[in-house]
Amino acid sequence: MNTSLAANINSFLAAMVLLTAFGMLVQRRMYGLIHLFAWQGFFLSISTAIVGFVAGAHHLYISSILTLSLKVILLPYILHILIQRLKIHKEVETIVNVPMTMMIGIALVIFSYHLTAPVRELSTLMTRSTLAVALATVLLGLLMMITRRHAVTQIIGFLAMENGLFFAATSATYGMPLVVELGVALDILIAAFIFGIFFFHIHTTFDSLDVDQMARLKEED
């Protein structure tokens, strides 16, 4: 595989990562949100493997397998079990309406391309064109956390932000050291279990995971 073809494939995968990020912004169904998160992890995993092959960075193969197993299989499975246990089946409400959220998201993408333009001009890496997408993915994950009322969707937004950070590390420096990536993967897995237990207790106590409802209960106290 030559560098030009690999760069084109990587750019396509970056576009799919960005597309899934926008999909999560407009998705109202919880199961649909989890599926989009899994697809984003899948595209990220394939992109990491391609970068590892072209750059000769063999530790990225392990990163790709970790991403595939953790963000495509294990975390979505945990989130599915959590939703079933908490009996969350209704549409998730947003603080800002979907058209306005999309406009803000597009503005964040434009800002990301403008901010990373000097870096892309100076970089000689194959992944320089995907750095803006990585930053945009982080910002869109943050936007999702801000505009969603449900606690579970805010956690999915946090995980999407982590996807963007991992993509940024791969785009800027061909990935972090393997020890760091293993530590981050373990932290995310532990956090998922803690969040699951935490949400279960909140739902048992307040009978809701809507952040606004919990805030109103606090004000009443």
Question: What's the total number of domains in the chain?
Answer: 1
Q: Note down the domain range covering 44.
A: 3-220
Q: How far is CA 191 from the centre of its chain?
A: 15
Q: Which of 165, 176, 97 is nearest to 135 (CA)?
A: 165
DSSP assignment of 140-204 equals HHHHHHHHB-BHHHHHHHHHHHHHHHHHHHHHHHS---HHHHHHHHHHHHHHHHHHHHHHHHHHH
| Cβ pair 7, 34 in contact under 8 A | no
d(CA 152, CA 87): 12
Tokens of 193: 């279990």
What's the Cα-to-Cα distance from 137 to each of 44, 56, 75, 163, rounded to whole Å?
A: 11, 26, 19, 8
Per-residue pLDDT of the chain (221 residues; tens, 9 = 90+): 567 787 788 889 999 999 999 998 888 788 888 899 999 999 999 988 888 888 777 878 888 888 888 889 888 888 888 788 777 666 666 777 888 889 999 999 999 989 888 877 776 677 777 888 989 999 999 898 888 877 778 788 888 888 888 888 887 776 665 555 665 666 666 666 666 665 655 555 545 555 455 455 445 55
Residue 217: what pLDDT?
A: 46
d(CA 30, CA 49): 29
